[in-house]
Amino acid sequence: MTSFLSFKGDKLIKYFNYIEWKNNADLFLEINNYISYIDGSESKSNKALYYNIIITRDKESSKETSAYDLDPFSRELGTRYIDRLVEFNQNNKYALGIFKSIISNDNNDCFKDKTSTKDLYDNIISTFSATSLELINRYFNKIIDINYNSFNNINKYINNI
């Protein structure tokens, strides 16, 4: 995550620029390798690979509870687990900060309680994504609002629709 390409689109403001923003944001996140924190392909290390699991059974209720042993299988594995966990948490916070930088300050205030990139992305999608009728209405209003005379040629007019 050392290289960083700048975001080329407008920040997400509200519903009216969501579609364009989402296309640009998805491309930006994929190019900069942040998409793995959204789609879940990058996740915390499995603690069970590094530590023993202790299972206890309550005699009265016959319920089993499990907990991780305080001692890892080996010191090297314990250190590797902590290193990977720290690296994941740092990269996730970095990706979250980058993602918050491509939405407006008003939206940052709305989503300030989100602590993971995946959670923030899912909430933005559920908040701003439109049904097909809303989408048709949005483009219809855009066609009505755009005036052909304000463009130099037909290509620029069509590209703005």
* pLDDT over 90 percentage in the chain: 7
Containing domain of residue 96, as a range? 15-44+74-129
Does residue 142 belong to any structural domain of this protein?
A: no
Does residue 110 belong to any structural domain of this protein?
A: yes
Distance CA 17, CA 10 (A): 8
What is the model's pTM? 0.63
More confident position, 136 or 41: 41
Q: Which residues of 5-22 are buried (b: 16+ CB within 10 A; e: fewer)?
A: eebeeebbeeeebbeebb
pLDDT band at residue 140 using 50, 70 and 90 as cut-offs: confident
The pLDDT of residue 2 is: 47
Neighbours of 49 (CB within 10 A): 12
Q: How confident is the model over 146-159, as pLDDT tens digits?
A: 776 777 777 777 77
pLDDT band at residue 130 using 50, 70 and 90 as cut-offs: low
Please give the tally of structural domains in the chain.
1
CA distances from 108 to 39, 103, 123, 134 (A): 21, 7, 12, 24
The pLDDT of residue 161 is: 62
Does residue 103 belong to any structural domain of this protein?
A: yes
Q: Which two tokens stand for residue 140?
A: 């219809």
Q: Which residues of 30-45 are buried (b: 16+ CB within 10 A; e: fewer)?
A: eebebbbbbeeebeee
Does residue 25 belong to any structural domain of this protein?
A: yes
Does residue 64 belong to any structural domain of this protein?
A: no
Contacts of 128 (CB under 8 A, 6+ apart): 12, 14, 15, 18, 22
CA angle at 142 for the pair 139 and 147, rounded to the nearest 5°: 145
Tell me which residue of 7, 9, 19, 30 sits closest to 128, measured CA to CA. 19
CA 2 to chain centre: 18
Does residue 144 belong to any structural domain of this protein?
A: no
Q: How confident is the model over 2-29, as pLDDT tens digits?
A: 455 677 778 888 777 888 888 888 888 8
Does residue 113 belong to any structural domain of this protein?
A: yes
Distance CA 54, CA 61 (A): 18
Does residue 92 belong to any structural domain of this protein?
A: yes
